[in-house]
Structure 1
Amino acid sequence: MACLSFVDFIHGLCYHKDVYVVGLSYAIIPDQDCSLTRSFCVRQLGHIMYVWNHVAARILQNTAIGKNYESDKLSGARRLRDAIVLGYQLQRVPGRDISIPDWYANAENELGLRTGSPAAEMNETSFPAKTYAEDFEILHGDLLGLSDTMSFLNSLSELDAECDSAKHTEKRQIRERMAAANLFNWEEDIIVARAPGRLDVVGGIADYSGSLVLQMPIREACHVAVQTLHPSKQRLWKHAQARQHDKGQESTPVLQIVSYGSELSNRGPTFDMDLSDFLDGGQPISYEKAKIYFARDPSQKWAAYVAGTILVLMKELGVRFENSISMLVSSAVPEGKGVSSSASVEVASMSAMAAALGLNISPRELALLCQKVENHVVGAPCGVMDQMTSACGEANKLLAMVCQPAEVLGLVDIPGHIRFWGIDSGLRHSIGGADYGSVRVGAFMGQKMIKLAASAMLSPTPSSNNGMTTDELDDSSIELVEAEASLDYLCNLSPHRYEALYAKILPESMLGETFLEKYANHNDPVTVIDSRRNYGVKAAARHPIYENFRVKAMDLLICLPEKSESDDVWKMNRMARAFKALLTSATSDDQLTALGGLMYQCHYSYSACGLGSDGTDRLVQLVQEMQHSKLSKPGDGTLYGAKITGGGSGGTVCVIGRNCLRSTEQILQDGLISMVCQHWFSLIGDGGTGGGNGSEDSGGSTMGMIQQRYRGATGYLPFVFEGSSPGAGKFGYLRIRRRHTLKKV
C-alpha cells in the first residue's frame, strides 16, 4: 500500500472516517512502512512530529464524535473509533488535557451500579428522587441495607418507562437498555439474586491442588433478575419471534438474556436461544456440544456463564424446563482484574434460577454446580474457591476452605486492627508466557511423577529415583510412602517430605510429548496436555505444597488474638511455623509482619511459576518500600505485605495493613498509588522524566503532583477495592412484584 500524505490523511478523516485507523498508521510516520503498534510510540518522534500528531488527534476526535460527519448515536463502530482515538491521545506528550468521550462516561453512568465508584455517584442523577419502594413490593427477602441492590431495583423500576420517558429523548439509548425495557412481563413476579466477587487473601491457584484457602467477599457484586413464564406470556424480541415462526414453532420455551456493561467490553449486549437447543432426543446435550455452541460467536460467548447454569441444572439435577426464561445481568465486579467476575455472574445466575424454580440448593452445592459451568460449559480450568467464596462468604470475614474438593472449615473473623485492600494494577490478565492453564498442567504432571516415585520406593527392587527399598524404611515411613503413592492432592504432601524425597526427581520443565510418552496422562479432567508445549513442572508442583503451609500459618496468625485452644479451626491449624508467635503472644506489629511475610512469599512463588507481571510486581515492591520506611518508628507501621491474586499474570494485588485512616490515605492519596503513577510515568514519559525509586522521601505534595501527571498522561488511576459484603447464600433472594400505580403518561 502506498503511503498517504498528511494532507490526504486529513481529507480522508473528514469524509471517510471508517478508514482513519489505516491513515493514522501512515500519517504518523510518513513515507515509511510501519505497523499500528509502532505508530503509537509517538514520543520517539520528537516535538515536530508531536505537533502533527496533536492536530491529527483533534481531527480524529472531532470525526469520531460527529463534529465532522454525522454519525449514528447508537453506532458501536463510532464508539470503537472513539476508544482508539482516546488511546492514541493517551500516548501524547504528558501534561495536556484529554477529553474522555462522553459515550464512555454515559455508559458507566447507565450501568451505574458499582458501589463506591464515580459512576455510581453520577448515576444517582439519572434516577428520579423516588425509590424502588414506590414501584416494587418485596414479597420475599431482605435488602440487608445493601446500596447496590437498592440501585439495581431502581434501575428495574425505570425500565418500563425507558422508551417513553422524556429525559431519554435527547440522550443516547444503548442497545442493552432498550432490550432490557422489553424483557420482563411487569404483571408477573421477578426473582433477584446477588453474588459478590472475591479478594484472594491467600491460597490462589493452589485450590486445584487441594490447598486451604482464605478468601474475602468484596463489596462489588453481580445482580441477576430472573422471570420464568409460560411461553405465551413472555415478551419475545422480534427476531426471536421470527425464528420461532420460521421453525413453525408456537409458544415454545425461549431464553432471553440482557447483560449490562457490554459497552465497556468486547461482547454483545443480548443473547437468546430456544431452550430446545439444549436437548438432543429429549435428553440434555453433552457439555462438549454446549461449549461448541457458545463458542460459535465470540461476541456472545459470555452467555455460557449465564445460560450454562440451565444446562448444568438439567444434567446434574434432572431439572426440566417447560417455561420461558428472561434474565437481566448487571455486574459491578470488573472483568480481568482477578476478583472473580465470572464466578459472581455464575453464582448470581444459579441462585436466581434455583429460587425461580423453587429448588432448595445449599450454598456449597450451588458453588460446585457453578464450577461445572465454568469448567465444562465455558471451558475454563478453574478451581472451586471463587464460586465457594461468592456463594458461602460473609461480610468482613475470611472464608476458610480446604479445596478437597470444597470443605468449608468456617469463617474467620478479621481482627479489628487488620484490614485488607485490593489494588488493581491496570493490567488485564495476560495471555502471553506461562498462563493459569499451563501452570495447572505442570502441577498435575508433578503430582503424577511424585506418585510414581513413591510407588517405586515400595517396590522390592531399588528405586531408580532414590535408591531406597521398603527394607530401608521403618513402618511409619512405609505408611507415609504408601499415602504418597496414592496422593489425591499435592497439598497433602508436607514441605519437608517434598524436599527430602521428591524435589530432586522433578524436572524444571518437560515437553508435553515427552511426558505423554512416559506417563500416558496427568489425571486432570479439565485440562489437556499440548504435546508441542514445554511445561514448567518443578515450580508449578512446589507452589501448592508450600502455599498450603503458608495459608495454614496465616489462618493461625489471624486467629491468634481471638481463638481459643478449644476452637476447631484453631486445633486443626496449629503448626510449628507459628509457634514463636504463640510463645510470645505476638504483638500487633509482629503479627502483621508475619502475615505480610507469608503474603510476600506467596507472591514470589507465583512469579517462579511464571504468573507474575510488571504491574503487580511493582505494586508489591512499593508496599515493601513503604513498609520499610516505617521500620525506624516501632508501632507506627501501616502496610505490611502484598501479593498477586487469583490466576495471576496481572489483575489485582491484595495488601494487608493496619486498620487505620493513615493506611487508607497512603494507598489512596499521597502514597502507594502516587508511587505507581511515578513508576508508569517513568515508562511512558519523555526520556525517563519523572522517574525515581518510588520512595516517600519526596513528600506527599510531590507524590500528588506525580499522580496528577500520571492522570494527565494516561487518564487512569488504579481502582482500590475496599470493604466487604455478604455472599449469595447469606443474601438469599428477593421476590418482587410491580405495583400497579406506576405507568407514566
Structure 2
Amino acid sequence: MIDDDFAIAFGHEPDGVWVAPGRVNLIGEHTDYNDGFVLPLALDRRTTVAAAVAGRTTVRSTREPEPVSFTAITVAPGQVEGWAAYVAGVVWAFREAGLPVVDLEILVEGDVPVGAGLSSSASLECAVAVAIADLTRTTLGPTEIARLARRAENDYVGAPTGGMDQMAAMHGAAGRLVFLDTRTDAVELIPFDLAAHGLELLVIDTRAPHQLVDGQYGERRADCARAAELLGVPALRDATPESVETLTDERLRRRARHVVTENARVLEVVELLRGGRDPREIGPLLCASHASMRDDFAITVPHVDVAQETAVAAGAHGARMTGGGFGGCVIALVDAGRGAEVTAAVEQAYADRAFEPPVTFPAVPSSGAHRL
C-alpha cells in the first residue's frame, strides 16, 4: 500500500492519495496540435501519488533511486530535470496561473509503462495536479487541471505535445471514450462497451521506446504549421483533402494529408459508435490510420509495423500504432478470448526477427484522475 510506503519514506502518514490514469488513443494521431479531433480512453493502469504538506518539496518515486527536492515558491524552468521535472512543472504552472501552491512531500508509484506511448508523463502530472488542488482547497474543473498539466509539459519540461493526454487523464470514464475537439476543448463521452460485443482492445507494447522531447516530433509539428500557412488556414483542421493536394512540397503534402484524413477517420469512428454499431466496423479505419502514419507521416518503425501487420494477419479486426510514434504501442481490436492467439503470433514474429519480446495487456476504459 502506498500509504505504508509513504510512512516508511517520510516517517508519517500522507494527507491523502490521488490517482490519474495513463491513456491509449483509439484513433486520432498528431491531430491534437493541429486543432483537430482525438478519441482516447483512460486506462486502468495509473499513477498513484501520496502527498503531505511540508516545509520543502521532496519527491520520491519507487522507480527512481534518489529523491528530488525544490521549493514551490521559487522553482523555475531548468531547475529540475528528468522525471521529477513533470512534478516541478505542475507546481510551477499552478504558481504562474496565480493559484496557491504549497510544498509537499510526495511519493509516486504507478504501473503505466514508461516510454510506451501510454502517457505516463500526463498521468503523473494530473495526479500531482489534483493533489495540489485538493491540498490548497482550490476548486478547478477537469479541463482547467488538464490545461495546467499541459502547460507543465510544454513550457517547463519542453515537450511540444498537444493537450489530448491530459484531457484523457482528467475526463476518462469507465466504458467510455473521450471524444475531444482540441480547438474548443469540448468533450463528449462516447460509449465503448467492448465486452457487450464480444470484443477486447489489446495493447501491444513493442518495447521500442519513443522519445517525444526530440527533433522528430518537433519537425512533424513544424511541417504541419508550415503546411497550414501555405494553405492559408489557421490550422490543418481547416484544410480539405483537395486543398492538401495542391501543396507542391511532397513532404508537406504527405504530412498534411495524414492530418486531414485522420481527422475524418476520427469523426467516422465517432459516428459509428454513437449510432450503436458493431465496433468491429471501425477495424478498417484503424488499419487505414496506421497506413497513413507509416506512409504519409513517417512515424512508425519496424517493431510497430511488424506488430500491426501480424495482429491483423492473426485475426484482429483492425490494428494501429498509438501514441506519438517512433516506437511505443500498437492496439488491436480482437474478439474476446483471441488475445492470447494474437499475442502468440506477434511474439513469434518478433522472435523470428530477434526483437525483444513484446508485452501485451487489455485496455479497459476507466475513470479519470481523482482522490482515493
TM-score by length of 2: 0.92
Judge conservation of contact 1:435–1:610 (CA < 8 Å) in 2.
no
Amino acid at match of 2:107: L
SS of 1:261's equivalent in the other structure is coil
The equivalent of 1:357 in structure 2 is 136
User: Is 1:156 matched with 2:7?
Assistant: no
Correspondence for 2:93 among 298, 312, 318: 312
Cα deviation for residue 329 of structure 1 reads 1.0
Cα deviation for residue 682 of structure 1 reads 2.3
Correspondence for 1:651 among 307, 316, 328: 328
Q: Which has the larger radius of gyration?
A: 1
CA distance in 1, matches of 2:289, 2:358: 26
User: Is 1:723 matched with 2:349?
Assistant: no
Correspondence for 2:259 among 535, 539, 544: 544
Cα deviation for residue 310 of structure 1 reads 1.0
Cα deviation for residue 320 of structure 1 reads 4.1
Correspondence for 1:445 among 201, 207, 226: 226
CA distance in 1, matches of 2:118, 2:5: 29
Judge conservation of contact 2:212–2:324 (CA < 8 Å) in 1.
no
User: Is 1:385 matched with 2:164?
Assistant: yes
CA distance in 2, matches of 1:398, 1:431: 24
The equivalent of 2:69 in structure 1 is 272
Correspondence for 1:261 among 63, 72, 75: 63
The equivalent of 1:525 in structure 2 is none
Cα deviation for residue 216 of structure 1 reads 1.1
Cα deviation for residue 182 of structure 1 reads 4.0
Judge conservation of contact 1:449–1:506 (CA < 8 Å) in 2.
no
CA distance in 2, matches of 1:191, 1:506: 57
SS of 1:204's equivalent in the other structure is coil
Deviations 1:13-51 (A, max 9, x none): xxxxxxxxxxxxxxxxxxxxxxxxxxxxxxxxxxxxxxx
CA distance in 2, matches of 1:338, 1:540: 20
Cα deviation for residue 409 of structure 1 reads 2.6
The equivalent of 2:268 in structure 1 is 553
Deviations 1:618-661 (A, max 9, x none): 1111122123xxxxxxxxxxx20000011011111111133x22
Change (3 A) 1:185 1:210: same
Change (3 A) 1:356 1:401: same
The equivalent of 2:290 in structure 1 is 603
SS of 2:32's equivalent in the other structure is helix
Correspondence for 1:332 among 100, 106, 111: 111
Cα deviation for residue 431 of structure 1 reads 7.7
Structure 1 unaligned residues grouped into runs of 5+: 1-153, 161-180, 232-253, 263-267, 279-289, 296-300, 452-486, 509-535, 563-587, 628-638, 685-709, 735-745
Greater RCO, 1 or 2 (C-alpha within 8 Å, sep 6+) = 2
The equivalent of 1:183 in structure 2 is 10
Correspondence for 1:507 among 211, 235, 249: 249
Change (3 A) 1:722 1:679: same
For residues 177-576 of structure 1, the aligned pairs below 5 Å read: 181-183=8-10, 185-186=12-13, 190-229=15-54, 231=55, 254-262=56-64, 268-278=65-75, 290-295=76-81, 301-316=82-97, 318-321=98-101, 323-414=102-193, 416-417=196-197, 418-429=199-210, 435-451=216-232, 487-495=233-241, 499=242, 501-508=243-250, 536-561=251-276
CA RMSD, 1 decimal? 2.2
CA distance in 2, matches of 1:158, 1:274: 23
CA distance in 1, matches of 2:212, 2:156: 20
The equivalent of 2:342 in structure 1 is 672
CA distance in 2, matches of 1:379, 1:433: 10
CA distance in 1, matches of 2:200, 2:261: 24
Change (3 A) 1:366 1:324: closer
CA distance in 1, matches of 2:211, 2:126: 25
Cα deviation for residue 675 of structure 1 reads 2.1
CA distance in 2, matches of 1:645, 1:346: 20
Amino acid at match of 1:553: E
Judge conservation of contact 1:261–1:269 (CA < 8 Å) in 2.
no
Change (3 A) 1:493 1:224: same
Judge conservation of contact 2:6–2:107 (CA < 8 Å) in 1.
no
Deviations 1:360-386 (A, max 9, x none): 110111101110000000000011111
Judge conservation of contact 2:39–2:266 (CA < 8 Å) in 1.
yes
TM-score by length of 1: 0.47
CA distance in 2, matches of 1:406, 1:506: 33
For residues 618-697 of structure 1, the aligned pairs below 5 Å read: 618-627=306-315, 639-658=316-335, 660-661=336-337, 663-664=338-339, 668=340, 671-684=341-354
Change (3 A) 1:158 1:438: closer
Q: Which has the higher helix share?
A: 1
Change (3 A) 1:407 1:622: same
Judge conservation of contact 1:224–1:349 (CA < 8 Å) in 2.
yes
CA distance in 2, matches of 1:621, 1:391: 32
CA distance in 2, matches of 1:159, 1:354: 20
Deviations 1:651-676 (A, max 9, x none): 11111133x22x23xxx2xx222222
Cα deviation for residue 191 of structure 1 reads 1.9
Change (3 A) 1:544 1:192: same
Amino acid at match of 2:182: C
SS of 2:93's equivalent in the other structure is helix
Change (3 A) 1:448 1:275: same
Cα deviation for residue 184 of structure 1 reads 5.1
SS of 2:201's equivalent in the other structure is strand
Change (3 A) 1:506 1:446: farther
Amino acid at match of 1:157: D
SS of 2:210's equivalent in the other structure is coil
CA distance in 2, matches of 1:380, 1:392: 22
CA distance in 2, matches of 1:259, 1:413: 33
Amino acid at match of 1:645: T
Judge conservation of contact 1:421–1:656 (CA < 8 Å) in 2.
yes
Amino acid at match of 2:70: M
Change (3 A) 1:399 1:433: closer
Amino acid at match of 2:272: L
Amino acid at match of 1:679: A
Structure 2 unaligned residues grouped into runs of 5+: none
Deviations 1:549-576 (A, max 9, x none): 00111111122237xxxxxxxxxxxxxx
Change (3 A) 1:652 1:311: same
Aligned length: 369
CA distance in 2, matches of 1:420, 1:617: 18
The equivalent of 1:144 in structure 2 is none
Cα deviation for residue 432 of structure 1 reads 12
Amino acid at match of 2:368: G
Change (3 A) 1:413 1:676: closer
CA distance in 2, matches of 1:722, 1:365: 26
